[in-house]
Amino acid sequence: MSGDRRPIGIFDSGVGGLTVLVELRKRLPGESFIYFGDTGRVPYGIKGKETVTRYSIEIVNHLVVSHDVKALVVACNTASALAFSDLKKIYRIPLYDVVTPAVERALKATKNGRVGVIGTRSTISSGAYRDALRLRNGKVRVYQQACPLFVPLVEEGWVENEVTRMVASEYLSPLVAQRIDTLILGCTHYPFLIPVLKQFLGPSVQVIDSASSVAEEVASSLTSHGMKAKRRRGRVKYLVTDDPERFAEFARERVGEVVEEIERVSL
């Protein structure tokens, strides 16, 4: 038995979803993946719901029709917050967002019921994390902070320098003042900034990484539904909408991914 050997699709506005890919490959080494980075239209976090939903449908259509993915991870918090409900209505394959598993993990982690959420402007404005947290626990206090500069800093590779530290201090100070003990990284770009964030937050604040949270959910779901591929090692193909060489360099330098198959596509 070979199991379901079709690939799993992952899409993000740019390089942020690589954090999800890395976590998925740790847990599901036998799976193949198609990673779609919409690098030509990044960032999504400053765009509205209609635009983000249109982009998301275009990408998912491409992954389903052209690559026959068996499941799909929306590895973009903005798309998860603004477009996921629409995607669920359209597609019949298993779909996974990055909001739900991070929320559940944060509620298990918090001791004082004071949870911080950082994300793009669109994600924070949508209230997706705040509403999901309060739906599950009406007593939790949620403190949100939009961090619009974090995505371009990561995309430029500025993950550990003085400018990034200054920006992090500006964004996180209001949350620290509220005595949060748990912080949800509401953007898959943000795990690249964890060393800088932890320097400012200190050891008393638990950082919830949506990448590892959703990877655990996908691995568990595929196993329980008998959809895992039964092979020793899968492969990864990358699709981008701008500059494959720059993407491949970032993937190699930041997450240790050797990009062997990469293609620039137009939608």
- Residue 157 C-alpha from the chain's centroid: 17
Sign of the alpha-carbon torsion through 23, 63, 238, 83: negative
Q: Is 147 designated active site? A: no
DSSP-assigned beta bridge partners for residue 144 = 117
Catalytic residue (choose from 185, 187, 215, 218): 187
Question: DSSP state, 7?
Answer: P
DSSP-assigned beta bridge partners for residue 197 = none
Count of CA atoms in the C-beta half-sphere (13 A) of 132: 23
Q: Pick from 223, 262, 224, 226: which is nearest to 246 by CA?
A: 262
Tell me the H-state helices in 41-127: 49-67, 77-82, 84-90, 99-109, 121-126
Catalytic residue (choose from 8, 52, 74, 76): 76
Q: Is 76 designated active site? A: yes
DSSP code per residue over 178-239: TT-SEEEEESTTGGGGHHHHHHHH-TTSEEEEHHHHHHHHHHHHHHHTT--B-SS---EEEE
Question: DSSP state, 157?
Answer: T
Quick check: helix, strand or coil at residue 98? Answer: coil
Q: What is the largest CA-CA distance in the chain?
A: 56
Catalytic positions are 76, 187
